[in-house]
Structure formats: structure tokens, C-alpha cells
A and B are shown apart, each in its own frame.
Chain A
């Protein structure tokens, strides 16, 4: 068994440089474009959620209070959040808004919809310096 694994490992070590797919940290312009496109697709899904009533139960959408995700301040998290009484991450505050003004069910931190929302919110704040804890 052990010998078999070793053979597989050796084979991989031999083959991979030939195929050229997993060089440690080398990536091309095409990779950058593909990754950026992946990100923008998710951010755009976040924008769709932002303007839709689907996250809540009462017709309210995030964008009604936060056009262009303004006044969400992703650059200031984690920070003390009065509503939660503790230092919190932005996703916890997103859930506060989903629960309260939207009267919806909170999302798991790693729910793809939460990832999409955070991607959109952060994209709208791109270029602003990090300032954790700021109010």
C-alpha cells in the first residue's frame, strides 16, 4: 500500500511539470481575468440580492436604505456594533438587517448568498482604506 502511494507520488512529481498546471504560484494574465470575472459574477449576484425582496418577507430590499451599498462601511469591520452589543463582523450586521428591517431568516456565514452580498458591498467600497473599529 505504502509503496503504491509512493509510486503515485513519484508519478505526479514527474508528470506535473510536464503538464504545467500546478506550478506553485505562477499565474497568467488569463488566470487574472478569469478570477476577476469569477469575483464580478458573485458581486453581481450580490447586487441582484441587494435590490430584491427575496431575502426578507415584507417587500423591503437592502438598497432601499443603502443605495449603492452606501453607509455599510465594510472597511470598518470588525467593529463594536451597538445593535449586537459586541465586536462583530460585517456578515453579522447583514444578518441583523435581514432579521429586522427585512423580517427574513438570517444566512449562514458561508452561505453563497452571504458571500455574494459581501462581495457586492465591498466592491462598492473599493479603494477606501481599511479602518477597522471606526464609527
Chain B
């Protein structure tokens, strides 16, 4: 927080990508907000599944605000979605809220359920975007990727295509998401996707699980494999520059060289400025 307050140039605001809690407990949400409280910037929050599945977002809403919303800033339209909803019959089948929370908190728990934005929120999004000129840069923040990468670990949003269809008419769209604890980026039509780093531990890339199909975007040059000997490896800072209406990410990684993933106007996609060509990659970027 202290370093964020000292950033120069000063950020206009902070986006928090979700999972301020581990098991949705009031004391966890309070503790997370207390940790964030020294920030001198307006902070916009997205909901993560760890915030939600105990009380379905009730305490989070009381402390933080609406589960989805939009705002305008310096000519850019920002949308924050709650992308971690799921089917009502799954939500209602658990004997206690904590059973439900514990199940969704286990990333690889086969009893979990796929994330989704849902009909109601997509209708809200449609109405919200109807007021925005197609030339206005759009930035969408969600916790889960609004694209389908790996269902087993919810690197996935079940209605991703329907959300993408609402974003597709805009000339410049950037989706920022959390959840995956690793560098991912992609381009689908006019929509650029970039993940955010975790403050905690890294997760394996989905192709390292041999028993289920996965779809890491071919564009993504994976981060270096984490060395378990270095406890902060694969975590780090990520400075987001959206000055051009396209996202440029400057990664400052512990125990690793820095990386920059930025939109390349010539190719129309985000690219790693050092490692994008296949022959520029290094052995730890191969995950198997």
C-alpha cells in the first residue's frame, strides 16, 4: 500500500480484482479492507468467489458496494462485472453456507460449479453499453476470465461468448481479470484480454494437468515456471497503463526478469515485448 501511494505518476484509481477474503467471512473482508485502507486512491472492487459463496455477497455489498456497476473516467467507459455467479440449483443444494463456500474455495474441487455472469447481469450490461458510443474505449474488470480456458479450475466463464458478443461492437475493448494467478493474455476480435497477477502464490498452467482438455490462448507466452525454493517467485507488481485506450502491462517480477505485455497496433493483439517470437523463449516458459 505504501509503495502504491508513492507511485509516480500517480494512479488515477486502483482496481481490485476480487478475493479480498478466503472463505467469505466478515472478519476476512474487514481485515482485507483494513489492509487496503492506507491507499490514498479511489478503489474499485470486483467480487471473487472467495468473497461470495458464504453469504452470496451480502457482507461484501454492505462494506464495498454493488456487485456490478459502471463508471466513466477521462473518456473511457469502465464496467465491473460479477462473473463468478453460478446456477441457483447448485447454490441451494448445500446443507450449510460454509459447505458451499468450502467447496467453491477448492480450486480443483470436482463438486464445484462453473462461473457465469448470468442472464440478469448480461441484460444490465446490454442496457449499460447501449448508452456508450462504439468509439469509446471500454475497460471491463471481472474476476474470472471472460473467455474459456480451463473448466476444471474455473479459468472459465460459462456464458463468455454471450458477454463477448455484447462487447464486440466496440472498437477498443480491454478485459482485465484475476483468479488465475498467472500471466495470460489473448485477443478475440476487438477484445484484448489480460490477467492480473496474484499477491499470493502462482498456479500451474492448465496444460500441466494431463487428465482434462485446456485452452490456454496460443498468444500467451507463459511466465517462467515458479521455483518453489523462492517463495515470492511468480508474484510481483504489474503496472497497468491504459493511456492509449489499450492495456499495456509492465510486470515487475520477483526473482525473474521484468516483462512487458502491450498491445501491438501493427498486429492488433497484445504481445510480450521480449519473448513473443517462438525462438525468443527460454526453457522455464515451457510447461508440461
In B185-230, the 8 Å CB interface with A consists of: 201-204, 206, 208-211, 225, 227-229
B176 CB to closest chain A CB (Å) equals 23
Range for the number of chain B residues in contact with chain A: 20 to 34
Q: Using Cβ atoms and an 8 Å threshold, which residues of chain A touch B225?
A: 71
- Select one of A70, A83, A125, A127 contacting B204, CB under 8 A: A70
A70 near B229: Cβ-Cβ < 8 Å: no
Is B274 interfacial (CB-CB < 8 Å)?
no
Q: How far is the CA of A128 from the CA of B288 in the complex (A)?
A: 10
A101 near B231: Cβ-Cβ < 8 Å: yes
B209 near A82: Cβ-Cβ < 8 Å: no
B98-128 interface bits toward A, Cβ cutoff 8 Å, 1 = contact, 0 = none: 0000000011110000000000000000000
Q: Using Cβ atoms and an 8 Å threshold, which residues of chain A touch B152?
A: 67-68
- Select one of B106, B109, B204, B229 contacting A66, CB under 8 A: B204
B32 CB to closest chain A CB (Å) equals 16
Q: Using Cβ atoms and an 8 Å threshold, which residues of chain A touch B283?
A: 135
Q: How far is the CA of A116 from the CA of B91 in the complex (A)?
A: 32
Is B44 interfacial (CB-CB < 8 Å)?
no
Is B153 interfacial (CB-CB < 8 Å)?
yes
Is A38 interfacial (CB-CB < 8 Å)?
no
Q: Using Cβ atoms and an 8 Å threshold, which residues of chain A touch B228?
A: 65, 83, 96-97, 100-101
B229 near A67: Cβ-Cβ < 8 Å: no
A125 near B106: Cβ-Cβ < 8 Å: no
Q: Which residue of A has the minimal Cβ distance to B287? A: A71
Q: Using Cβ atoms and an 8 Å threshold, which residues of chain B touch A68?
A: 108, 152-153, 209, 211
Is A37 interfacial (CB-CB < 8 Å)?
no
B263-288 interface bits toward A, Cβ cutoff 8 Å, 1 = contact, 0 = none: 00000000000000000000100010
A124 near B229: Cβ-Cβ < 8 Å: no
In B118-177, the 8 Å CB interface with A consists of: 152-153
Q: How far is the CA of A17 from the CA of B270 in the complex (A)?
A: 73
Take A63-B106, A63-B107, A127-B210 as given contacts and tell me if A71 and B204 are in contact as well, using a CB distance cutoff of 8 Å: yes
Most buried by B among A51, A70, A135: A70
Q: Using Cβ atoms and an 8 Å threshold, which residues of chain A touch B202?
A: 65
B107 near A65: Cβ-Cβ < 8 Å: no
Q: Using Cβ atoms and an 8 Å threshold, which residues of chain B touch A96?
A: 228
B211 near A124: Cβ-Cβ < 8 Å: yes
- Select one of B107, B204, B227 contacting A82, CB under 8 A: B227
B201 near A67: Cβ-Cβ < 8 Å: no
B210 near A63: Cβ-Cβ < 8 Å: no
A70 near B201: Cβ-Cβ < 8 Å: no
Is A57 interfacial (CB-CB < 8 Å)?
no
Interface residues, chain A, with chain B CB atoms under 8 Å away: 51, 63-68, 70-71, 82-83, 96-97, 100-101, 124-128, 135
| 6 CB < 8 A contacts A-B | A66-B204, A67-B153, A67-B209, A71-B225, A96-B228, A126-B211
* A68-B211, A71-B204 given; 11 more Cβ-contact pairs under 8 Å: A63-B107, A65-B203, A68-B152, A68-B153, A68-B209, A70-B208, A70-B209, A71-B287, A83-B229, A100-B231, A101-B228
